[in-house]
């Protein structure tokens, strides 16, 4: 069991650790990933890979997956990590979202927790997903 004083860095797989190729499997890591993981590990952080690939439910349809498929995906990740000497990285295979001190994900938007944070996050999401004009203008229209 990990000490409560050890911070856990949770890293997404597709689009973050490896190029986004869903449902195909990547064969190489994103530039700088291996070095970054070694640096974090050397600083005493626990590193954990979490991925929708490992969910017992298909992330797009919500239908149950064959457990052998999920096992094969986890083994593919473990093998790729091990081949690059990243044996210290764990792969999350339990149900639900793992707890962590920080999450690294290519699809994330940061929530700041201050007044106006939800407005800012909503605007960023709408802009990212192709809305032409923000619902919440940055400045009052009268200005």
Measured distance CA(105)–CA(62) in Å, rounded: 21
Q: Hey, where are the domains in the chain?
A: 8-106, 109-143
| Between 90 and 62, residue with greater pLDDT | 90
Q: Which CATH architecture has domain 8-106?
A: 3-Layer(aba) Sandwich (3.40)
Alpha carbon distance 39, 89 (integer Å): 12
- Residue 4 pLDDT class (50, 70, 90 cuts): low
Quote the pLDDT of residue 22.
Answer: 82
How is residue 30 annotated by DSSP? P
Write out the H or E segment, with its range, that includes residue 35. helix 33-42
User: Cα separation of 42 and 27, whole Å?
Assistant: 25
pLDDT for 142 beyond 80: no
Residue 143: predicted pLDDT: 41
CA dist 44 to 16, 40, 47, 53, 131, Å? 21, 7, 9, 27, 42
Statement: residue 132 has pLDDT above 70: no
């Amino acid at each position: 069991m990990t000490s409560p004083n050890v911070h856990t860095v949770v890293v997404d797989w597709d689009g973050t650790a490896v190029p986004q190729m869903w449902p195909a499997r990547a064969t190489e890591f994103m530039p700088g990933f291996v070095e970054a993981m070694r640096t974090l590990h050397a600083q005493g952080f626990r590193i954990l890979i979490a991925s929708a690939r490992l969910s017992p439910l298909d992330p797009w349809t919500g239908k149950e997956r064959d457990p052998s498929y999920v096992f094969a995906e986890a083994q593919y990740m473990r093998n790729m990590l091990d081949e690059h000497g990243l044996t210290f990285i764990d792969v999350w295979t339990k149900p639900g979202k793992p707890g962590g001190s920080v999450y690294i994900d290519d699809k994330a938007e940061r929530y700041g927790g201050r007044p106006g944070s939800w407005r800012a996050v909503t605007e960023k999401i709408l802009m990212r997903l192709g809305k032409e004009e923000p619902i919440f203008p940055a400045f009052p229209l009268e200005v």
